[in-house]
A and B are shown apart, each in its own frame.
Chain A
Amino acid sequence: MIRTAWLVLKKDLTVEVRSLEIAYTTLFFAISCVLFFAFALVKEGKAPEDGAAGILWIAIAFGGTLALGRTFERERQSETLRALLMAPADRPAIYIGKLLGIIALLVAAELVLVPLVAFLFQAPLLSHPFWLGAVLLTGTIGFATVGTLFSAMLVRARSRDVLLPVLLYPITVPVIIAGVRATAALLQPDVELAIVQFWVALLIALDVVFLTLALWTFEPLMTD
């Protein structure tokens, strides 16, 4: 299973490095979001309190949705998804490989977004790098876990671009809320680590639940 997941991940990253198609579109969209909010909300050099946390997660969610839509679209275009499903590999391993590729891409986007949001909104996002990393990673895993499953499920749907956010956002609301609250807690002048730890624990619990459900349902969803 690990070997298959690694093969799929390596293949996805190689294709992405060659084309940079998903990376560019995701980053462009996410950075545009941040800039629009910065132009709208930052007045006379003063940013709204706690705004940075929400804007960071909006950019991650919107950019992530774009990336999720494209990752299976690529498999659909040359029907390689059928080839993947016909291979004697465990189908959950294929899902894990695709999921890891999306997580890697979103983490790379976050490496650009975090300093940008910190700069534009004068937010001390980097004052607790370990905890910020934990929040972003656990939140990204939760968001991508559900998104990868829905993206695979909708790959043959005609209106998949519309359906993906419609299905994805309601289910991932708890992840986004926990991510925003944990990030906002990190932006307080006196950071209470107990609050951050609570939200990270919640995010880990959500990740476990979503991942279990996704691994359980991927094979039946992709059959027929």
Chain B
Amino acid sequence: MATPSNIPVASGFLQIADPKAGHGRPVGIDLGTTNSLVAVVENGRPRCLPADEGDSPLLPSVVQYREGREPLVGRRARESAWQAPHDTIASVKRFMGKSAGDAETKRLSTYRFAEGTAGAVRFLAGGKAVTAVEVSADILRTLKRRAEGALHQRVEKAVITVPAYFDDAQRQATKDAGRLAGLEVLRLLNEPTAAALAYGLDKGSQGKFAVYDLGGGTFDISILQLVGGIFEVKATGGDSALGGDDFDRAIAQALLEEQGAPSPAPPALVHEALVEARRAKEALTAAEKVSVKVGTLARTLGRDEVARWIAPIVERTGGPVRRALKDAGLTPAQLDGVILVGGSTRVPAVRAFVQQLFERQPLADIDPDQVVALGAAVQADILAGERARDDVLLLDVLPLSLGLETMGGVVEKLIPRNSTIPTSATQVFTTFADGQNGMDIHVLQGERELVADCRSLAKFRLSGIPPLPAGLARVAVTFQVDADGLLEVTARELSTGLEQSVAVKPSHGLTDEEVEKMLLDSLEHADEDVRRRLLAEAKVEAERMASSADQALAEDGDLLSPVERGRVESAVAALRTAAAGSETGAIQAATGKLDEATQELARRRMDRAIQRALAGRKVEEFG
């Protein structure tokens, strides 16, 4: 066999020296929070390339910056992190697409951030300020070089995976990192979809599949349907604060309690217990028993015992799974397969739970750490391989609902989550006050009912609305989400055709953690949200009723006797008092009372208006 240098290896059986092979081999990259991997398709099969020392396919996503030297990336950076904690950036994925001003940025870590910079986060490391995009680019550059070394070939095109929940800003940041590393990003591919592709579901198989992805700190669930080469994402869900790290804590805690450690236990002992817990957890994926030693405690630990300790944590993945199934309109029995992704799915208790939850044996024959990168390689081959295949099409969804602020701080959803993209929606709004000449358009993303609980994506003002009585001017607001998930909002006044549009480019997008947190909150607060929305609506209606009663009294108050007038006025006062409170029922009751109290006035006003109209006509007719 010829030395493969300069000879692109086609996916078929012939090796062809292609003069156009300037871009070399397309690769798939899993740019992970903890580890990153690079994979390539060879002879129709994907495989991971060595990415770190010792030919490990896992490159720890850790970058250490050193003044005047090349950054150190991978295991050596992680191992020497304790010597330079501020100069070593780990878990940079959490910072992608986030702004420096984001309160959460500061809480996330002990890094030093550059002061006074607007926009993206800048870490102070190795004597310079670096953005999350640059740190990610350093990881990607390392993967690119290692892949080129392994393939003896240039690597310039890549499919990079992102969590299904990544929003526009986070996706854009990931794409920028790819470009910065000298890669043409063929596609940003959702991680669960990549895992499904890796399982070769594209090879003529059909059905509905769940991808259960449990990592060190996050949990993701996606439901996909495959028919005739179309991968259709039906629903996504997850929990950003749930993962294998929680198992370690639960095991450590049980061990500490057993040896009677004081609470809180000394930090050194806690650290020892955590290290031992992790070791035991990993050993028990293969062995039935393992001996552990923490402080004065030394004993044998069985699989079942650990399973009991971590059961409450494992069971927490059930909620998002059930919701995703519900969103997809499926029961577990209707699924054709369940795919396991993420290192934590190696834990036997997790597998047992998944099996029980989905009523079937999960598929786990591909290494759960590698499966995402392998799927990305398959997609790279589809898009840019020597003999690009065109028998697969991915249909993705919007991860979170998009909406607008309406009266009373309530969010009106225009496009529900899990809608297939590209998509659009139009909603017509009307003016609230007479002669209102402008309207604020506030674009929001999230599942909660109230503006305060959703992520604000953009705000703009449509001005120049012609002065008309309340309710007559109509403004159509259109959302357009393109195939990349980018949103554009257009507002148009319907009588004049006055139009304004804005491409929504959030300077600080939602992280997948925030997205998931919002989703989880929406479940926890669904009831509370409806209550608050009903209250907000009742208040709006109350104020509308009270104002029109005021106006009627001012204009035609003479139609009422002092007693009648007093009744209306006290009903208005009672309504305003109720509306200042937070009892929806009381506000509705007071609104009803005022309605009753003004019936007579309304009738007399009507009569007067008719008389005036008739009188006017008489003047014209006889004049």
**Are A and B bound to each other?**
no
